[in-house]
Structure 1
């Protein structure tokens, strides 16, 4: 039986435009905390800067689905990327921490719009029979961005200063706008169907939250709590410990994340989600513990291998699980529910772990971040065990 085609022109364009969006973002993750520190920001304030970006994205996402029904996914997606462009280009004008916080809110709004619609449009394009594989490859843009973005951002910051960093970031987002403009928009029939679905009577809660996405979203929240600290403070961690070549952490992290997707997506589609989501969390937990013990570049890169492989399998696996659980007309709300939980985790994790670093040190912060994966493993195993028990009980009742 022939497989349904995956590598279509719209799919490739989405991967590329999504790559450019995240490349610009990843350039700022290790460098913006340094920029804020130069402006006199404390670890707690840096965590707040990261957190406000996240929460502004969370606030806007519930309205994205309704707005896309009215204006179309493509137009709204382009608008979201343009807002990100404006926010990124304006950072250099921020001479105080307060101004940085305001710009992070604007940037977060654009990011919330963009990420919700990229995921929704991708799920519409990918064949259902290849969703685990397709979402995995769609996320390769993120993997490449995690590799090149921080490396490029740190290099631009050290060689040319913050002005070059923000200008290049804005130019990359301009490329994202161009690639997105070539993605085919919704047809009139699809727009009409979306409006009909939006007009159907439903509770206020269901307009903003998809109940079927809550369990994978909870797990995404726990992953985000760890990721917020791992990525945001790694540059400052290098300065604290004296470990050199911090930029290579992101390179190895992304390479590991990219390579695991050639395996994890197919395992998800053939053997089921458990065989991806459970062992991947263990890999991430091991990566956090290695970071806690890191005293050399070699240990730093080993931590990147484990954490990258774990995250590279978990994130697209959770995305695919969310899409599998809902009807096509609910994909926008389901995607927003998942991304909101994940981003709340990142923002809260950055602020919480920033406080841990203030009270102790960055090494201890990474050990604390491993606790989130212990909770993840307990919750997810209990959930799957409950499902299995329920299924056996229902099978026993059937005549």
Structure 2
């Protein structure tokens, strides 16, 4: 038995990670999130200027998108049981591209919100299927490393996208920004075609025998995994802080008179790139708590520094700290959720991960928007620091309780 396990582990370690499918799907995910992030950071400022709304109304363009994506992911997870994943993926990408093209034509705030809902539906479909396909071609023993590299695509997009969007918006305007977002979305289609030839075989080889794949749909439905709830909750806390950056950093820059506030995302990207590969390997070797607790402290410190920022040097320090924490936390939580799931639950795990991200973004946009309305943006970021302090506390308590359970189990085994 032990020899067999060693052999499986050795084969998993030797299985190549950087296949054509993995590279192409990771690139598609990067482009999908890049198109999203370029526009997401500029929407609140555009809405306030174009439709003369307040902070809470401006935050709705983020919230309704995120809520639509959440609902879409639940529907997509169910549809994947009976509809081709490729058809669903293409449909989602087409909806996302069409709504992006129509943003600048919106003549009213209500029309823009409707388009944001449509985009959320398309984005939710695509962002559920792509990570599910990827997670089923990553060797299980290299899940942390594989998800770390795959997640780097989203982190890079979340780091450079807002900076690009804010600069294009300032230099060229919203119409040109939507066109760039549309072109980015369209590039996904040829890249996706490059991955199609071999991708269909991967899930069967690494998960179920063929005879199991053809079982009736009802019996193949995966059971809900309650263990996913806690890491999803932690991801909500992290996403609330990110929502505060997406929705209000540009407005915060005006408040403290920092002209190039979009540089936050560029410096943030530097530390994300540096920390991502290491965090995945640390997770694979030592588990999630060793990564999450220190990384949570980095994000807490980042938000605290940002709340007292009045000049570019402090903004850069905050960005570097946030990149270390965010770049380590996101892939670790996703890999943790996949590790505690069965292969047939990977779709559910990925759906919960991205749903918790979008729920945190939606919740953060509303709550932090309300806080900034009655106080100011500096106080708002202090509340973000408090949210991450709760993240650290919850993570430490979970680790303590899990360690105690393991110790008790070992004591029982030794006593018997």
Superposition TM-score tier, normalisation by shorter sequence: over 0.9
Partner of 1:196: 215
Task: Give 1:260-339 correspondences, 5 Å limit.
Answer: 260-339=275-354
- C-alpha displacement of 1:90: 1.0
1:13/1:182 contact within 8 Å kept: yes
RMSD over aligned CA atoms reads 1.9
Distance 2:302 2:106 in 1: 35
Give the structure-2-normalised TM-score: 0.90
2:43/2:61 contact within 8 Å kept: no
The yes-or-no answer on 1:186 pairing with 2:200 is: yes
Partner of 2:79: 67
Task: Give 1:1-399 correspondences, 5 Å limit.
Answer: 3-38=14-49, 39-184=51-196, 185-187=199-201, 190=204, 193=212, 196=215, 198-200=217-219, 209-398=224-413, 399=416
2:271/2:323 contact within 8 Å kept: yes
SS in 2 for 1:224: helix
Residue by residue, what CA displacement relative to the aligned partner does 1:232-280 show, whole Å, maximum 9, x if unpaired? 2111100111012112111111121111112111111112211111111
Residue by residue, what CA displacement relative to the aligned partner does 1:61-108 show, whole Å, maximum 9, x if unpaired? 112122123222222122212211112111111121111111111111
SS in 2 for 1:258: helix
1:80/1:111 contact within 8 Å kept: yes
What is the aligned length?
Answer: 395
Distance 1:197 1:243 in 2: 59
1:70/1:195 contact within 8 Å kept: no
Gap change, CA 1:188 and 1:318, over 3 Å in 2: closer
- C-alpha displacement of 1:148: 2.8
SS in 2 for 1:41: coil
Distance 2:402 2:170 in 1: 52
Gap change, CA 1:197 and 1:233, over 3 Å in 2: farther
Gap change, CA 1:188 and 1:244, over 3 Å in 2: closer
- C-alpha displacement of 1:119: 1.5
Gap change, CA 1:369 and 1:195, over 3 Å in 2: farther
1:26/1:149 contact within 8 Å kept: yes
Structure 1 spans left out of the alignment, 5+ residues: none
Residue by residue, what CA displacement relative to the aligned partner does 1:317-356 show, whole Å, maximum 9, x if unpaired? 0000000001111110121122212211110001100111
Distance 1:105 1:86 in 2: 12
Gap change, CA 1:96 and 1:265, over 3 Å in 2: same
1:23/1:146 contact within 8 Å kept: yes
SS in 2 for 1:71: coil
Structure 2 spans left out of the alignment, 5+ residues: 1-9, 205-209
With 65-74 and 321-330 compared, the bigger mean Cα shift is at 65-74
- C-alpha displacement of 1:187: 4.7
SS in 2 for 1:370: helix
Runs of 4+ in structure 1 deviating by more than 4 angstroms, as ranges, are 187-195
Gap change, CA 1:285 and 1:214, over 3 Å in 2: same
- C-alpha displacement of 1:306: 0.5
Distance 1:279 1:188 in 2: 36
Give the structure-1-normalised TM-score: 0.94
- C-alpha displacement of 1:146: 2.6
Distance 2:212 2:97 in 1: 32
Distance 1:78 1:259 in 2: 33
With 252-261 and 277-286 compared, the bigger mean Cα shift is at 252-261
Work out which of the two has the higher radius of gyration on C-alpha atoms and give 1 or 2. Answer: 2
Distance 1:42 1:196 in 2: 53
SS in 2 for 1:183: helix
